[in-house]
A and B are shown apart, each in its own frame.
Chain A
């Protein structure tokens, strides 16, 4: 498939074309694509697009999907209300 306008990261609205351009600019990891395009920086933190990004990196660079360095996953697992973290939060 060759659709440059296809949205790969829905949260940040990053297209396949932008991800391919990032790889051409030197990105070889999911993190490298993320820092260049913001793909994976949105609300879902890459849960939806990570595999797609890995697949595109694999296609473009000839690496095996299994060899592509995955991004670091960080807490929280899903969005958490900031007020909950206050020390005297009453919940």
Chain B
């Protein structure tokens, strides 16, 4: 038998990988995290910072988010660090016309049926919550329980706690292959040598498909680029997290989009203000391979719609643009759990734009699956085995 370096190897040092590393360590497993760059170097390092149950598809996805919020609510205390977590800053989905309002309204009924408190507000009411909104809008879907968090602080806090529990990490180390014993994964080849463990967890986000391929598994995880803009720090101006009603259309009803540019770039906006005072303004949702540049067309498109909805933004300055990749999966559901036919190999990837929100529960689930052999609720909808042709 090969000498074992850890009970579990976690591939990926983003918010999913660090949540998994911490939760497994808490359950007594010896964990080795392997990350090809630095912590927070991929998707977690270039994303928004909100936890919004109302943007999830009603059903399993929403349920997973609600359960994740329960974990988030005790995380600062558990990790004993400040994560800039705001449990109830509220979320608005702002509608600029009746079509968006009607779609959000129909969706709000499904969300309510799924156990989420949401309401539709005419624009006068929405402006009482968010006075910066333009009077020319139609209204908004309001979710009081939407929250915010600092993803960087969360990753570092997870890892500091995991290290105290005995976890180790190898940064700037790339996994180059799986070590197999028959069908079973028993370790990984890396740019710094071979490492052995009972279980390997693929938490490599947008690169999760390539890691899975090394274990002989075929998962369609594609990088979807999101461009974002950062404003200069200003006094509190935006109190909630906001998206366009168009966001729901882009995310759940792409077939209804007629504008060619919106279709291609997936432009809407999501806006929130950080504790530091900067305003984060997203987003595009576009397929551009692993090209991490920002484009004038994308930035102009985002700011154009953002200024129409929040006119006072025109007077602020922006100081940076950036882009990040979201791990897109064709059925819009994360891939969480053991892979049939490949003992020792677990997936925890493919969360697309919901990774921050869902990271907390993903860590808990993987720890349960590894330690207890089952999760505390039914997660078949997220099983890696759902893609198998029956």
Interface residues of A (CB under 8 A from B): 12, 25-29, 31-32, 35-36, 38, 41-43, 45, 72, 74-76, 79-83, 85-87
Contact = CB atoms under 8 A, between A and B. Distances in A.
Interface residues of B, number: 34
Contact of B318 (A36, A79, A86): A79
Nearest to A85: B303
Given A28-B171, A43-B319, A87 B300 contact: yes
A12 B232 CA distance: 12
Given A85-B299, A86-B314, A25 B307 contact: no
B276 interface: yes
Interface of B: 38-41, 45, 152, 156, 159-160, 169, 171-172, 231-233, 276, 278, 294, 299-300, 303-304, 306-307, 313-322
A82 B45 contact: no
A83 B152 contact: no
B171 A26 contact: yes
A35 B45 contact: yes
Enumerate the 5 nearest inter-chain pairs by beta-carbon distance, A residue then B residue, closest first: A83-B314, A79-B317, A85-B303, A35-B152, A32-B38
A86 B40 contact: no
A28 B172 contact: yes
Given A45-B319, A79-B318, A38 B313 contact: no
29 contacts: A26-B38, A26-B39, A28-B38, A28-B171, A28-B172, A29-B38, A31-B41, A31-B45, A35-B152, A36-B156, A38-B276, A42-B319, A43-B319, A45-B319, A72-B322, A74-B294, A79-B232, A79-B318, A80-B317, A80-B318, A81-B316, A82-B313, A82-B314, A82-B315, A82-B318, A85-B299, A85-B300, A86-B303, A86-B314
Most buried by A among B40, B169, B294, B314: B314
B322 A86 contact: no
B301 to A, nearest CB: 8
Contacts of B278: 41
Given A25-B160, A87-B300, A82 B316 contact: yes
Contacts of A43: 232-233, 319
Contacts of B303: 82, 85-86
A52 B171 CA distance: 24
Q: Binding site of B, secondary structure by majority: helix, strand, loop or mixed?
A: mixed
Contact of A82 (B38, B160, B307): B307
A85 B38 contact: no
A85 B317 contact: no
A91 to B, nearest CB: 11
A25 B313 CA distance: 37
A6 B319 CA distance: 25
A45 B152 contact: no
A76 B318 contact: yes
Most buried by B among A25, A27, A74: A74
A12 B231 CA distance: 14
Contacts of B294: 74-75
Nearest to A78: B319
Contacts of A86: 300, 303-304, 307, 314
Contacts of A79: 232, 317-319
Contacts of B231: 82
A87 B304 contact: yes
A60 B304 CA distance: 45
